[in-house]
Structure 1
Amino acid sequence: MSEPAPPSLLRTEIGATLRLAAPLALANLLQMAVYASDVIFVARLGQDALAASSLAVSIFMLINWGLLGLTGAAAPLIAAELGRKQHSVREVRRTMRMALWLSLLCAVVGMVVCQFGLTVMLATGQDPKISAMAQEFLTIMSLALPFMIMSNVLRTFVSTMGRPIFATMITALAIGVNVLGNFALVFGNFGFPALGLPGSALSSLVTAIVTMIAYIVVIQTDRRMRRCYIWGRLWRPEWKRLKTMVRLGIPIALTIMAEGGLFGSAAYLMGNIGAAELAAHTIALQIAAAFFQIPYGIGQAATIRIGYHYGAGDRQGVARAGIAVFSVCLIAQVLAVAAMVGAPRLIISAYVDPDLPQNAAVVAFALQFLVIAAAFQLADGIQTVASGALRGLQDTKWPMIIALSGYWLVGFVVAAWLGLWTPLAGIGVWIGLMAGLVVVAILLTWRWWLREALGLVRT
């Protein structure tokens, strides 16, 4: 997908990519475990509590993803500044200062939007009692937004500075904190009151605070990161840099929300088809999401590695980094496909017992959906790595247009048509998801391939 590079330099680039991508992918997988621990505890409270938390989390995560994408523009900017080398410490500090400003601004906006969750739930026909419970949960969760968004900015800084292992370690710490918090606050252990569903939201708030503090501690104790002194002159504005960050970040946020919204809307389509199909869809989507965390980590590494070379004005370095990230992604996705095709029942058994007669319909549908999920693993990996690579070149506007068009004009339209108006039903919905991913993957890869002709790479 790029011009050939000398073998020794390419091996070095692949090694650098793996050292960056592996900890980030593992951190992404561990983050899923943090969310899963909430579900495990809330499920013990009963069907109503689980339904309420699901409604609240669906709204909260869409808001959170979008805001994380907006502040995620710090990654290509910091990487480019480090690549340029000249005055890099000062430039990184200025970018981080504005990223932290933007985090607080985003958090305030997100907290306000969360207060309208009940209106959205009632407008979509949800049960009033469940919706009221969900709004209480969402209100508490909204308090965690400042800490979550700031933690993500600090994670970007840590990773871009070549210390991604800290992100892995801190996310592992977050799992322990969240489990203990749920155990104490949901059921009233360790002398705490039994708060039920609100207790789980409070646990998430505590976890977010501890996570942010952990990032501050590791930054202050690491000599290379400490010398950037990112806390210096926090009150001083850098309006031009903030404007650049917003210009790059808004398309990133809309791209993330476009993909998340497509997969979220698929659940509503499945709900119109049947309960068994919806349950199977949920299981298959969880499995696909788990496998997706690996190319997602590679895509994050792509932004950083390509951003370094972009900042240095090294066209050959950009090409080598492209070859490295796409090669690593292809290998990872081939292994993912092999696992999903080779042992689907074993993977499904992590969510539901496939041998119980009452689960027969759900398991049968889930197996069908997993076949399609395996088929689009390659496209899913390529699109996220291509998107990350283009972000490294600070190209976000056209990838956003491609994502919005591919996911909604192709993916959703095909999913709705095949799912609701043809005998394919649930399989048709998944074919639509695959169609959207394939179109986006092809167009983003094409744009990466033409990066020189499009003037995306500077010298």
Structure 2
Amino acid sequence: MQITKQNFFKNELMAIAYIAIPIAFSQLCQMAMGVTDTILLGHVNKETLAVGGLTTNIFFSICIIFQSALSAAAILIAQNMGAKKIKEISKVYWTTYVFGLLLCIPCFFILYHSSTILQWNGEHDQEILTQSRHFMVILLWGMPPVIAGTGLIRVILPALNASKILLQITPITAIINGLLNAAFIYGLWGAPKMGLYGSALGTTIALWLSTFILIEVAHCKKDLKQYLYPFAIDLSLLKPLAKLGLPICVGAAAEILLFLFANFNATKLGTDALAAHQIAISFATLVFMIPLAISQAANVRVSYWVGAQKPYRAKKSGFLTVGLSAFIMTFICSIVVIFPYFVVRLSLDTTSPDNANTVIIAAAIIQIVGLFQIVDGIQTVAMGALRGLKDTTIPMILALISFWGVGYTLSVWFAFNKHWGAPGLWAGMGIGLGVIAFLSTTRFYFLTKNPKKMLQRALK
């Protein structure tokens, strides 16, 4: 019996790694696209960098919120994989394209009025607002492939045990994005010199190309054709996709907007605090790629075992992914807490007297972020495991309470009422993450306590 358990954990760890590693790598490549764009725009002038960087950040933040709803497709596909219902998978796949296009409608409306978000942030310079609006109008043409194209392919490939395609394609698309941005910003290789708007055009074309490449490669794989064909759209699947996906979307919005508004609040604390905050958020975002990838693996593996009607394995897999994330993030935390200045030194000249105050603030924040990463890793993966049980509505409510009722409230109170500044912003958010980590893990425990009820609920 003991050997069986050991074999299960060994095999499950390998399955998790097979899913998570390519996802994490592809996410890092996507981040590299943003860094490349920033570097290219920065060589034009700082005003161009500010407008392009801020508008692009808003674009992808909002797109990711809506894109998260497509995780519903991964849940349904993984369940069908576990249940060996191969013929049902193509229906889910093709119908999710329709679901993705429907999600583009509210996303388009929000992004089209993105200048309002900048005004909320206190930006009243009409020239900047106008440039940002024109930049966004170009980027909007790239929204459908982000949500209904690349977004969909990236969630269904792990469910089909084909994550390795992301390892092969994502680096290529990152290079294409860099070349197109350089061409249209600076007028290279016969392209028109468009400066700021060249970045928007280059990114938009790259988004379409990356979508076509990913879809083409996926559809050309012989072992995937049995899942992706025949072409079949079943509109009755829109209801379960929406029922699962929309709460995930709201939960993602609660978390992403928490950090977006923390960024807005950091601008009120002065240049040194804002610079320190940006260093911290860049580091936190980079490290977050690890639990985010494990979370998607938890989603797929728990859904798979539910579909196979093996509730004990679903439970073990869920807790295995949570424990794995906690272990990795604790290791990272120990390094960061002991060597905070090393992290700061990666982004800032710590020897310059002009940066002395920023370095002190950044080091304090980085230590908080180190502790913060543990609970963030736990909550992210626990939420992924809950999605594997088709539990999305209650976790959405827990996320709203934790991120905004607790996290945002304490963040503002610590920063401004207690005068803790930027470290206070992060301390408040960390407590909010701690609350959702406890609540989501506890909920997963109780939902899996009775295997029979868990299956009945998850297979509805």
Please give the TM-score of this superposition, normalised by the length of structure 2: 0.94
Q: Kindly tell me: are residues 452 and 326 of structure 1, through their superposed partners in 2, closer, same or farther at Cα, counting changes over 3 Å?
A: closer
The partner residue of 2:104 within 107, 116, 122 is 107
What letter is aligned with 1:367? Answer: A
How far apart, CA to CA, are the structure 1 residues paired with 2:126 and 2:418? 33
How far apart, CA to CA, are the structure 2 residues paired with 1:121 and 1:165? 38
Deviation (angstroms), 1:258: 0.4
Match of 1:168 in 2: 167
1:146-181 superposed Cα distances (whole Å, 9 cap, x missing partner): 111111111222221111111122221121011111
How far apart, CA to CA, are the structure 2 residues paired with 1:81 and 1:433? 37
What letter is aligned with 2:422? Answer: G
Give yes or no for contact 1:73–1:249 (8 Å, CA) kept in 2: yes
Give yes or no for contact 1:383–1:437 (8 Å, CA) kept in 2: yes
What letter is aligned with 1:161? Answer: L
How far apart, CA to CA, are the structure 1 residues paired with 2:411 and 2:31? 26
SS in 2 for 1:272: helix
The partner residue of 1:390 within 386, 401, 407 is 386
Deviation (angstroms), 1:338: 3.1
Match of 2:455 in 1: 457
Match of 2:95 in 1: 98
Give yes or no for contact 1:110–1:142 (8 Å, CA) kept in 2: no
1:417-444 superposed Cα distances (whole Å, 9 cap, x missing partner): 1101113122211110101100000000
Deviation (angstroms), 1:193: 1.5
How far apart, CA to CA, are the structure 2 residues paired with 1:141 and 1:364? 38
Match of 2:136 in 1: 138
How far apart, CA to CA, are the structure 2 residues paired with 1:277 and 1:333? 25
Deviation (angstroms), 1:89: 2.4
Asked if residue 310 in structure 1 is aligned to residue 306 in structure 2, the reply is yes
Q: How many residues get paired? A: 451
The partner residue of 2:396 within 397, 400, 419 is 400
How far apart, CA to CA, are the structure 2 residues paired with 1:53 and 1:155? 26
Q: Which runs of 5+ in 2 are unaligned?
A: none
Match of 2:376 in 1: 380
Asked if residue 350 in structure 1 is aligned to residue 349 in structure 2, the reply is no
Superposition pairs of residues 21-32 of structure 1, within 5 angstroms: 21-32=20-31
How far apart, CA to CA, are the structure 2 residues paired with 1:379 and 1:56? 30
How far apart, CA to CA, are the structure 1 residues paired with 2:355 and 2:173? 33
How far apart, CA to CA, are the structure 2 residues paired with 1:166 and 1:255? 28
RMSD over aligned Cα atoms:
1.8
Match of 2:213 in 1: 214
SS in 2 for 1:223: coil
How far apart, CA to CA, are the structure 2 residues paired with 1:319 and 1:5? 16
Deviation (angstroms), 1:395: 0.5
Please give the TM-score of this superposition, normalised by the length of structure 1: 0.94
What letter is aligned with 2:142? Answer: A
Deviation (angstroms), 1:320: 2.3
Runs of 4+ in 1 over 6 A off after TM superposition: none
What letter is aligned with 1:292? Answer: F
The partner residue of 1:241 within 198, 212, 237 is 237
How far apart, CA to CA, are the structure 1 residues paired with 2:174 and 2:448? 43
The partner residue of 1:272 within 268, 274, 285 is 268
Q: Percent identity?
A: 29
Q: Kindly tell me: are residues 412 and 122 of structure 1, through their superposed partners in 2, closer, same or farther at Cα, counting changes over 3 Å?
A: closer
Match of 2:9 in 1: 10
Superposition pairs of residues 299-338 of structure 1, within 5 angstroms: 299-338=295-334
**Bigger mean CA offset, 199-208 vs 219-228:** 219-228
Deviation (angstroms), 1:342: 4.2
Asked if residue 295 in structure 1 is aligned to residue 294 in structure 2, the reply is no
Give yes or no for contact 1:41–1:183 (8 Å, CA) kept in 2: yes
Deviation (angstroms), 1:230: 4.2
Give yes or no for contact 1:111–1:143 (8 Å, CA) kept in 2: no
How far apart, CA to CA, are the structure 2 residues paired with 1:381 and 1:257? 18
Superposition pairs of residues 166-205 of structure 1, within 5 angstroms: 166-205=165-204
Q: Which has the higher helix share?
A: 2
Deviation (angstroms), 1:277: 0.3
Superposition pairs of residues 244-255 of structure 1, within 5 angstroms: 244-255=240-251
How far apart, CA to CA, are the structure 2 residues paired with 1:390 and 1:40? 39
Match of 2:127 in 1: 129
Q: Which runs of 5+ in 1 are unaligned?
A: none
